[in-house]
Amino acid sequence: MSAVVSVAGLGVAYRSGGREIPVVHDVGFELLPGRTLALVGESGSGKSTVAATLLGHLRYGSRLTGGTVRVDGHDVFALPARELRRLRGGTVAMIAQNAGQALTPSMRIGRQIAEAGGDVPVTDLLEQVRLPRPAELARRYPHELSGGQQQRVAIAMAIATRPKVLVLDEPTTGLDVLTQRSVLDLVGSLRDDLGLAAVLVSHDLGVVARMADEVCVLRSGRVVEAAPTRRLFAAPADPYTRRLLSSVPRLTDAGLALVGEDGTREVRPKRPVPDDAVPSVEVRDVTIDYGSSRAVDGVSFQVRRGEVLALVGESGSGKSTLAWALAGLRGPSGGSMTHGDGDLGASARRRPLALRRKIQLVFQNADTSLNPRRSVGDAVRRPLRFFGAVSSRDEAAARARRLITDVRLDADFADRLPAQLSGGQRQRIGIARALAGEPDILIADEITTALDVSVQADVLRLLDDLRRERDLACLFISHDLAVVRGIADRVVVLRHGVVVEEGPTDAVFAAPGHPYTRQLMAAALEPDPDAEPVVEAADDWQDAAEPGDVWTDLGGAHRVRRWRPADG
């Protein structure tokens, strides 16, 4: 069987500041039909640039400096424009990271799929990607679908013309573990059924371990290691590969991992939260409605000073809705939310400044939460002035530079624009901006979702250091259960806006009592192709909670919402 993709001696350079900057150096690989090759590495390693060359794409201002890219026997960069258009979508199709942005918001789903071309009816394609009621769904607009459904629509568009090669660029980033697992299973079955070759770009080594047959590790545009997946994960040869693998959090880690230059890892124990720690925020029987739909239903919890409380659950479980309500961006429909300094039921604008500054939010996407035309120093100075924490411009500038050093960046970063920072550096600036108000509780909403594993580890250690140094309470929202295992002291599991399990993190992960928690843990992917699920997924179940009899107490502040096996 001959290779459907052959890349040899590939070199790419960008022009910047009047000079050429090489970003890909002498990269080569071959890919057979029905096989998956993963390109992995940190941000800036060149993996997305290499993958894009299979479609003949080069970023504006860049050029090929050497080598060839052959797909299905054709030299991609020697093709005339018409044949290159035929190659894109016909022979090679791409599934982008964010399907919500890739879909046209004002066009119905069915019409968008039809525009992709091919002879397969739209409803058949929607059935093939396992979407329910395809005829009805084809008439919907993208905003009427969940993130997982949008990603399945993007897959349907990609396979409409029956291509020979799929390029998957971070296809499950931002999806919860259950949705991620189902999307990956779908891609795997389509690859096998249609005999597709796939190139997977991912920073999630759990996804790579599950999906890839071979792995190519890139660093600064160069291949540092390439091997079959099982061999690479079992015995990585290069120190850089070992560091990447060691940086990945595991479901069995009882703290955050500290990784050495040689790839050795040591798990730092969590600092115990004192029994007499003062509650910073208390939530009691909170309900939040969107029109006639109830997003949060009777949720109660408290977060103490120096404690990290994690909210976990799949998309739509109400995690972010609760965070926005605490930050004053969404009003509760019922129940109470209180801070030691006052009531949190009012919107942020109606809260006294002294209370408003106490609760600060670190956003998921630092790229869009920072003004691209303002220096990052200005982003940090603004809340200092807003909350009246400084009396002069010079004091504001000095405080901003000190906050930037507090998040382990050089003070000179204050003069840079967001585009001049890496993703991890921008996220650190987001944390510095939140600290400017001198809060006693930070809300971290999926802050490591889009970061590669080594940068994610650095940001998590920073957050853990800050809560130790400043005695901060932290409400940590994540769909990554391994991250939650390492950083959280307690965990609350949400499903459809209802708490189904809560307790100390170690207790919940050691013996999950609710079938939904077990389902989440069984779907989590470990960085090991041969890893078995840490727990077995539960059989079908149904809720058995009744007024006055909601919880089963498992001891040690660990309790589970009552449930029973589904009727046979």
Question: Torsion angle of alpha carbons 8, 13, 14, 19, nearest 10°?
Answer: -170
Q: What are the CA-CA distances from residue 432 to residues 128, 391, 438 (Å)?
A: 46, 19, 10
Check: CB of residue 41 under 8 Å from CB of residue 217: yes
CA distance 179 to 522: 13
- Supply the pLDDT for residue 43: 80
CA distance 378 to 100: 31
Find the helix packing angle between 177-194 and 515-523, rounded to 10°: 50
Q: Where are the alpha helices (DSSP H) in 248-343?
A: 319-327
Classify domain 279-350+443-450+471-565 by CATH architecture: 3-Layer(aba) Sandwich (3.40)
- Supply the pLDDT for residue 398: 93
Helix/strand/coil (H, E, C) string of 149-179? HHHHHHHHHHHCCCCCEEEEECCCCCCCHHH
CA distance 543 to 358: 37
Check: CB of residue 204 under 8 Å from CB of residue 173: yes
What's at 480, amino acid-wise? Answer: D
CA distance 312 to 241: 30
- Supply the pLDDT for residue 471: 92
CA distance 69 to 76: 6
- Supply the pLDDT for residue 53: 94
Q: What are the CA-CA distances from residue 562 to residues 254, 287, 306, 357, 516 (Å)?
A: 27, 20, 31, 38, 12
β-pairing verdict for 551-555 and 359-362: unpaired
CA distance 511 to 495: 18
CA distance 27 to 50: 8
Look up residue 71 and give its two tokens.
């797909």
Check: CB of residue 20 under 8 Å from CB of residue 61: no
Give per-residue pLDDT as tens, 144-164. Answer: 887 778 888 988 888 888 999
- Supply the pLDDT for residue 379: 93
pLDDT per residue of the chain (568 residues) written in tens, 0 to 9 = 789 999 999 999 988 767 888 899 999 999 999 999 999 998 888 898 999 999 999 988 889 999 999 999 999 999 999 999 999 888 999 887 777 778 899 999 999 999 888 888 999 999 988 888 899 989 999 888 877 788 889 888 888 889 999 999 888 877 788 888 888 888 888 888 889 999 999 988 999 999 999 999 999 999 999 999 999 999 999 999 999 999 999 999 999 999 988 889 999 999 899 989 999 999 999 999 988 889 999 999 999 999 999 999 988 888 989 999 999 998 899 999 999 889 999 998 999 999 999 999 998 777 778 898 999 999 999 999 999 888 899 999 999 999 999 998 999 999 999 888 877 888 899 999 999 999 999 999 888 877 888 888 888 999 999 999 999 999 999 988 999 999 999 999 999 999 999 999 999 999 999 999 999 999 999 999 998 888 888 788 999 999 989 999 999 999 999 999 987 5
Check: CB of residue 43 under 8 Å from CB of residue 75: no
134: Cβ contacts below 8 Å, ≥ 6 apart: 122, 123, 124, 126, 127
Q: What are the CA-CA distances from residue 286 to residues 298, 344, 562 (Å)?
A: 5, 12, 20
Look up residue 32 and give its two tokens.
């057979």
Where in the chain are the domains?
279-350+443-450+471-565
Give the position of tokens 């599934």.
Answer: 95
Beta-strand ranges (E) seen in 305-414 are: 308-312, 334-339, 342-343, 359-362
Report the length, in residues, of the chain. 568
Check: CB of residue 515 under 8 Å from CB of residue 539: yes
